[in-house]
Structure formats: C-alpha cells, structure tokens
Structure 1
Amino acid sequence: MRITIDGRAIGQDAPPYVIAEVSANHNGSLEAALRLITEARRAGADAVKIQTYRPGTITLDRSTPDFVIQGGLWDGHRLFDLYEQAQTPWDWHPRLFEHARSEGITLFSSPFDTTAIDFLDELGTPAFKIASFEAVDLPLIRYAASKGKPLIISTGMADAEEIGEAVAAAREAGCLELALLHCVSGYPAPATDFNLATIPDMRERFGTVVGLSDHSLENTTAISAVSLGAALIEKHVTLDRAGGGPDDSFSLEPTELASLTAAARTAWSSLGHIDYGRKSSEQGNVQFRRSLYFVTDLPEGSEITAEALRSVRPGHGLPPKFFDAIVGRRLIRPAKDGTPVTWDHVGGP
C-alpha cells in the first residue's frame, strides 16, 4: 500500500514521510509562518501542514459553558477566542504556498469546512488532512475526498467503528489515496497512552497506509512507530517552545525536528528485509570467531585427543562443531602447537 503526495511516494517501502505541523505556532506573525516553512525544510521534513478555518466556521461566538474550555492547556478560554487567536489568516495562504514551493517543500492544510476545502483546492494543495476532532464529520470527509486528492485522516479519540465509518465515507466519495494517522489527542500525550501496537492492526484492518500524529514531548514514540510500520510522522513544530502560543509548549523546535527526521529515517533503513546472511560490516571480523587449534606438538600418525585441541579465537581453523569429528582421528602429517586444525591434518572430513 502506498500513496503519493506532490510526487513523493509514501508507504512502508519508502522512508517515513515527516510532516511539520505549524498549527498556531506562527503566533499571528506571517514572518514567523514563513520562517517555520524554511526551518522545516532545513530540518529535513518532507512537508509542512497548516490549518485553514475562520473562527466562525469552526465554532460559535458564544460564552455559555458549552463554548468555554474547562481544564487542560487552554482552561478558561472561549472556543471562539482561542480559534481567533490561532487561525492562519486566509490572505496569508497564497504567500505561504508560494514560499513553500520556492523552498522546495510540500505544503498542505487541514480544512475545517467546505469553503476551506474549495479555497485550498483553488490554491493547488496537493493533499488534504482531516484533523482528529473532525474525523467524525463524515460530510466534511466526503467533500474533501470528492476533490480527488490524497487524504490523510487523524484518528485521535475515534474508536474502531468511527475510523471504519471515516474510511468508508472517504472511499465512497472517490478517495483512491488514503492514509490514517494513529493519534492520541492529548496535549501533550504521554508515551504510555499511545499503544503503538495499534499501527500494524490499523493497517491490516482498514487497508490503508498508516502513520502517527505524535503529541508527545519527545521523539522516542515517533521513532518507535517507524519500526512498527508508520509511513508518516506528524509533529508540531515551533520556533520557540517558550513562545507563549497555544501549541508552543508541546511542539518541537527546529533542531529537535532535524533530530527526528534523521532518526526516523535511520530507524526505517535499519528495518531492511529478512536476512540471516553475513553482512558487509561483519566481513573483516570473521577471523575473530572461535575455531579449533592444536595446543601441543603431535607427530604424524598420532591419535588426536581432546586435550590436544582447544576452541579459541581467531577463526582460521575448523569450526568448533567439528571437535568430536576430529578427536580420535589420526594425523597424516605433523601438527604444531598453536596452529589451526584443518581437514588436511586428517585427510578430509
């Protein structure tokens, strides 16, 4: 299984596709958003993801308890105010797409309503990403899928039935290239919540490319996911974790993103294929394996005793597994102390 975004093949047979999630980490500055794209490219990410909405398309301008966050990272904030602060202005989008193209890195976005999908489609986005909180919005998924572009769906908080419904909605609307991101929608999320063993099950159960959207505070979880077949890794990125923005505190700084991209690709390259053969880096060390050596001088015609042999390093003699086959045989030529045992000493196997 594989999908292709902007010419880059994504699947288990390709290096992990690393997505730098900008989210609200531009903190209201276009220059910061542009710089984040540049830093993501320098760090080796394959793509940058933004979010496309207006406050009124994602929530209602209300102050009743339903619309005020209780507890957690954004305790006490009205949803409308939070999204107004966090939004990426639509008039920035053309400049952001242009800058990403000039930097040679892919840019796409998470749309939160049909107008955002149409807007991004007009800008030539190469893919759509459905956020975890929208994974249950089947009409939104169907509309995004109808555009004929690759679709990535985050699955935070969704159970198996809901994920199946989202996949069915995308497929029924014509999506041919679909990826799911295993996700824990905690901000931050502890590594113990991830249950990464879900990744191979998700791939088999839903028949899609699978990756990880990682909100943990370190890179270990994401790197571990690669070993279980995660073909995409998404991580929030910021210029400054202490910047005070809504998502800064659980995001990677550019140097940490660079470490992730390098380590994820090393993890992938180490998987390789099933191979019990001797590896190229081992060839020079074969000589240091154990083998049979004579530990006393023996004349021609002597019977070889167990006491006359030792299994030692280096490996220039017969392998130790032939110890019993050699003991009791007679020498057809003399043997000297400290020389390797060969079949020539006894006339062959």
Structure 2
Amino acid sequence: MPLKFELCPGRMIGGSNPCFIIAEIGQNHQGDIEIAKKMIKMAKDCGADCAKFQKSELDHKFNKQALERPYTSKHSWGKTYGEHKRHLEFSHEQYRELQKYAKEVGIFFTASGMDEMAVEFLHGLKVPFFKVGSGDTNNFPLLEKTAKKGRPMVVSSGMQSMDTMRRVYQTVKEHNKNFTILQCTSAYPLEAEDVNLRVIAEYQKEFPDIPIGYSGHESGISISVAAVALGAKVIERHVTLDKTWKGSDHAASLEPAELTELVRSIRLVERALGTGVKTMLPCEKPCHDKLGKSIVAKVHIPKKTVLTLDMLAVKVAEPKGVPPEDIFTLVGKTLIEDTEEDESITPDVVDSYGKKAKC
C-alpha cells in the first residue's frame, strides 16, 4: 500500500485519502497582485485544495546573458527576457500578502522554488510543502537541499527518464520520506498521445512506498480524471481566468468552469472506485429480489431422493431458493421433503446443505 503522509496541516495524501488538487496559478496572474488574489479565491471557490505560484530569485535562476537576451515573443512583458520575468515576479512582501489572503480565504498556499534562494525564502515563509518543478528535477544539489529542509515535497517528472527518476527517489528518500512524484510531460498544451498515463503504474511499481500523482498540461479534464482512476493521489493543473490572456501557459490552463468540473469529476470517480471487495451490495438487493434466480425442481422429487443434475433447473422463483452457483453442491445430497415440479428448492429441504461434498 502506498505510503500516506500529511502534505498540509490536517490534510493527508495517499492511501484512501481524497486526491489532493493543486490549482497551479504559476505566473498566469499577469504580474498583477489583485488578479493573483482573484485566482486564489477562484481556486478555493472551485474546490481545489491548494493555490500554487512559482517563485524565482532571478539573478540566481538565470545568468546575465539569459536575462539580457531580446525577448520578442507575443507573450513578452518586456524588451528583454529579464524585463519580462521581472514584470511577472512578485516581491517577498507581495508573497506574504498573498499567503495571508489565501489563509483568509481558506485554501493552502505554496509555490515552486525555482532556484536555491527561492527555496530559502519559501522555507522562511513556512509554506506547507515544497514543489519541485520539472526543470529542477535533475538539479540534484537543489533537490538535496530542498529535501533537507524537512518539509513535504511534490516532485514533477517532466523531461526526465526513469533512470533519472530512480536517482531522484533515492536522493530525496535519503533525507525526506514525505514526498510524492508526479507523472508529467512538459509540453504546453499537451497532446493526448504524449501524456503517457501508463507511467503512473510504472512509478507505483518502482516506488511502492510513496504516493504517485499527475501534473497535466492537456486541454480539458478527461485525462486528469483518468489519472485519478489509475491511482493518482495528487493532481496539479494550471488555471487561468481567461485563456486568451498574454502568456504561454494560458492555453494549457483550466478556466473556472473547467476547474469546478475537474474537482466534481475527481470526487465522483473517487466514490466510484470503492473498496475493491467484490460482493453483492445492499443497493443490489431490489434487483436481486426481482431478477435473481434460484434452483427449482425440474420434476416431482419424492422425499429421501438423492439429487442428480437432471432433476434440477434454474429459474426466477418464489420463494427464493438455493442460489444457482450451488447447483453442483446439491448433486448427491438427499431431499428431506417431497418437492413438486417447478417448486423452489430451499436450503431447509436439503440434508446437509452448506457442507462441502467430499471429493
């Protein structure tokens, strides 16, 4: 059974606990803190468990040349990549304001630490768990430092091989037992043929002592719901207020109505997964009473007759008699009362019914 642990205060994941749903706001807030707050409230109203952002200390994440390169994309917020990223990056004080707002709204708040200094800041902010994005999953110095902080971790696996993910598992496990790995393909938007949901099952076999989840960038909700049916214990999806807004992540994000439907569908699937124990359920009794068949006498059978198969038939009968699956058990047993043709054979008229015949 996969390990379960407390990802956020009072919120367990893994085992039979409900799937933890992360609304990834990322940088879809357009660099506007009021829009960010609206998105936090939207995530809460739609039923998500956590609103998540992306935090970078730009001079630690990028080198000087990367920040100074021209950025002419239609999604750009500046002439250089550095200007673009600075427009979208909230300050430490703004993060504290967002965290406070999330607490007021009643939703968990965290962010991906996109470099080591961002991890330090988030640790000081006392976020409930760290998210390691796919771009840092093979960044083993950052991974190890993050694991040593002692907070639960969610690790995406986009762009990685299984060999790398085995190293990731061993690296984190050495310092921190409370973590989950998410199957992820880093494409925006993601085509169905590249999702590779079967990796969830492979991760469950490779890492049986941790919960496995899914981070999706596809359009719609069907694939994410299917991931839950396959056993994903965490679902992360990008969210937006408007898919037409400037920004490369919006096309792969869910608008409020879609996020609401995703949460509803996940909770429905969780109810449908059940216990795994196959038995006739109480809800089936009316159907069984109406359609369930019983064993009846095919001919008149006198008292003390040793039953043979050609004396028995299966029909919908009143009253209910011995169930059809026991027809071969009746063969060789003795009838202790006269039974008329077409009459139900009830357990009380068969000697030693319920005892297994000796082979």
Same fold (TM over 0.5): yes
Shift of 1:208: 2.6
Aligned pairs for 1:90-105 within 5 A: 90-105=92-107
TM-score, normalised with respect to structure 1: 0.83
Q: Distance in 1 between matches of 2:75 and 2:203?
A: 29
Q: 1:46 aligns with which of 46, 49, 59?
A: 49
Q: 1:36 aligns with which of 28, 36, 39?
A: 39
Letter of the 2:239 partner, please give it. Answer: V
Q: Distance in 1 between matches of 2:242 and 2:216?
A: 18
Kept in 1: contact 2:6–2:12 (CA 8 A): yes
Q: Distance in 2 between matches of 1:91 and 1:14?
A: 34
Per-residue CA deviation, residues 258-305 of structure 1 (Å, 9 max, x unaligned), is 221222233233333331221121122221212356799x7989x999
Q: Match of 1:26?
A: 29
| Counterpart check, 1:291 vs 2:294 | yes
Q: Match of 1:155?
A: 157
Q: Distance in 1 between matches of 2:24 and 2:40?
A: 10
Shift of 1:20: 0.5
Shift of 1:136: 1.7
Q: Distance in 2 between matches of 1:201 and 1:305?
A: 51
Q: Distance in 2 between matches of 1:199 and 1:73?
A: 33
Q: Match of 2:16?
A: 13
Q: Distance in 1 between matches of 2:151 and 2:350?
A: 72
Identity of aligned residues (%): 27
Q: Report the CA distance shift for 1:322/1:117 in structure 2 as closer, same or farther (over 3 A).
A: closer
Aligned pairs for 1:38-187 within 5 A: 38-62=41-65, 79-172=81-174, 174-187=175-188
Q: Report the CA distance shift for 1:345/1:257 in structure 2 as closer, same or farther (over 3 A).
A: same
Kept in 2: contact 1:299–1:331 (CA 8 A): no
Shift of 1:56: 3.4
**Unmatched tracts of structure 2, length 5 or more:** 354-359
Q: Distance in 2 between matches of 1:323 and 1:3?
A: 49
Per-residue CA deviation, residues 295-343 of structure 1 (Å, 9 max, x unaligned), is 99x7989x999999864435624434577869xx999557487x64546
Q: Report the CA distance shift for 1:228/1:57 in structure 2 as closer, same or farther (over 3 A).
A: same
Kept in 2: contact 1:56–1:80 (CA 8 A): no
Q: Distance in 2 between matches of 1:236 and 1:268?
A: 21
Q: Distance in 1 between matches of 2:93 and 2:128?
A: 19
Q: Report the CA distance shift for 1:144/1:342 in structure 2 as closer, same or farther (over 3 A).
A: closer
| Counterpart check, 1:319 vs 2:319 | no
**For this pair of structures, how many residues does the alignment match?**
343
Root-mean-square deviation over aligned CA pairs: 3.6
Kept in 1: contact 2:55–2:111 (CA 8 A): yes
Kept in 2: contact 1:16–1:232 (CA 8 A): yes
Shift of 1:241: 1.9
Q: Distance in 1 between matches of 2:309 and 2:262?
A: 55
Q: Match of 1:209?
A: 211
Letter of the 1:87 partner, please give it. Answer: E
Kept in 1: contact 2:67–2:81 (CA 8 A): no
